[in-house]
Each structure stands twice: as C-alpha cells, then as structure tokens.
Amino acid sequence: MDRTLGSNEADAAPEAGAGKQARRSATMRRRLCEAALDVLCEVGFQSLTTPMIAARAGVSRGAQTHHFATKTDMLVGAFEHLLQSWDEARHAAFGGRNLGEVPFEDYLRFVWREIFSKPSYVAALELMLAARVDRELGDRLRHALDSPASQRNLRWRQLLRFPDVRKEEQFQYMTLCLLRGMAIHASFNRSDDVNEAVLEAWIELAETVIAVERPERSVAAATERPRRKMRRVPGA
C-alpha cells in the first residue's frame, strides 16, 4: 500500500541487468491482481472500479491501464491469480503427495477450509455469475479454467479411483456443486451453523459411495460390474 517500488531503494541490490523489465512487469501485474482480488472481496463485483484497484495497489492509473487495458482484462487477471493461489495452497498442504493415499475426508476438509469457505471463493462466484451475461468475460474465465479443471479431474481420479469413470465424474461434480452451494449459504446466512454438520454428513455419505463403487479387496470386481448404476446401497 505504501511500499514504493522502482524508484529508490527497493531493487537497488537485486539482480540488475538481464530481464529487469520482465521482472518489473511481472511484479506489477501480480500486485495489481492481488489488489483486484482484495477489492473484489471487500466491495464486491458490483461496486468494484478500476481506479479503486489502482489505488489499492498503490500505483497510478497509467500503470494499470498499461498492464490491463480494460476492466475485463483486470478481472480475468485477478481470477487467474486466484486459481494460482489455490494451487499454492494445495501444494503447501499435500506437496507432491499422491492423492491416492490421502483419505477423502482429509482432502474434502482441505478444499472446504482453504478454498470454498473463503470470501475469495464467493468473489470468484460473483465473476462466474456475471459471466452469464458478459460473453467475453465468460469465454475468458472458462478459458482460464480449462487447464486447472482438467488437472483437477486428474487429481480426483487419483483421489477416488472408481472403476467406473463416469460414476466418478458424477460424484466429483456432485461434491463440487455441494461445496459451491455451501459457500453461498455461508456467505448469505452470516452464521455457519449447518455447514459443518452438512460437510460431515456428506463425508459419511461419500465414504459409503466410495466403499460401494470401489471395492478394495478384489481388483477383479472392478471389471465384473462395469457401468453399474449408483444403486441402493443396503440390499446386503
């Protein structure tokens, strides 16, 4: 906010010479994206303005328009920055660990705690809803999500390992939709009363589904009943 950069002492020592401009540029872009995300969280999409972001980042409007020509550019940048921060959080929590050895409960609690329950996720939802009527924004947000989404699919493959991939995908989307809905609920009803219980209930339900869809003991069973519907669980 009040940290000056560029002119005086900030980068007097750090590596001068090659690619200095590239570094300056990257720093500035990151700073603007962070500011944009902050502003988005604080005042919401409705009253977010580009001057606000520039002020928050402590840079001139000229610098902002140089790096992000339009408001949409700025928003997409903030969105990408958020996606990246999720990657970082995941890396901090699980590193390169194979998710196959992470219990479903642990992973679910992680994504809820570190992603969906944060205000920044609600901010992302605002963007996604705004995309409904802003074609360009929508296309660009979807594009930004392309790679992260397919990487997420891979992670959930590791995590769940259902023999029936379609079932697995359904289960993944179901969980995601549930978390999204919970995020809204938490945001709208200031009290987080039910969410903890719902999360717990879903974990139990999910573990049941997992147990049914993925019978650990016999690998053969995986191919024995392919394409089976997610049917009534008891029956015994």
Partner DNA sequence: TTTTACAAACAGTCCAGTCTGTTTTTAATA
Partner DNA sequence: TATTAAAAACAGACTGGACTGTTTGTAAAA
Query: Structure tokens of 170?
Result: 């359904």
User: In the set 19, 20, 24, 44, which binds a copy of itself (CB under 8 A)?
Assistant: 44
Q: Whose Cβ is closer to a copy of itself: residue 5's or residue 125's?
A: 125
Is residue 69 close enough to count as binding DNA by CB under 7 A? Answer: yes
CB 120 within 8 A of CB 82: yes
Least distance to a copy of itself, CB of residue 69, Å:
19
Least distance to DNA, CB of residue 11, Å:
7
- Can you list the pairs that 101-104 forms with residues at least 24 positions away whose Cβ atoms lie under 8 Å? 102/159, 104/159, 104/160, 104/203, 104/206, 104/207, 104/210
- Name the segment binding a copy of itself (CB under 8 A); options: 61-69, 80-88, 97-105, 205-213: 205-213
- Name the segment binding DNA (CB under 7 A); options: 58-66, 117-125, 207-215, 220-228: 58-66
Footprint on residues 91-120 left by a copy of itself (CB under 8 A): 119
CA separation for the pair 121, 15 (Å, rounded): 36
Amino acid at 34: E
Q: Check residue 97 and report its DSSP letter.
A: -
User: In the set 38, 45, 65, 155, which binds DNA (CB under 7 A)?
Assistant: 65
Q: What are phi and psi of 3, to 5 degrees?
A: -80, 120
CB 62 within 8 A of CB 68: no
- Residues of this chain that bind a copy of itself (CB under 8 A): 42-47, 119, 122, 125-126, 128-134, 138, 141-142, 166-167, 169-171, 173-174, 176-182, 184-185, 187-189, 194, 197-198, 201-202, 204-205, 207-209, 211-212, 229-236
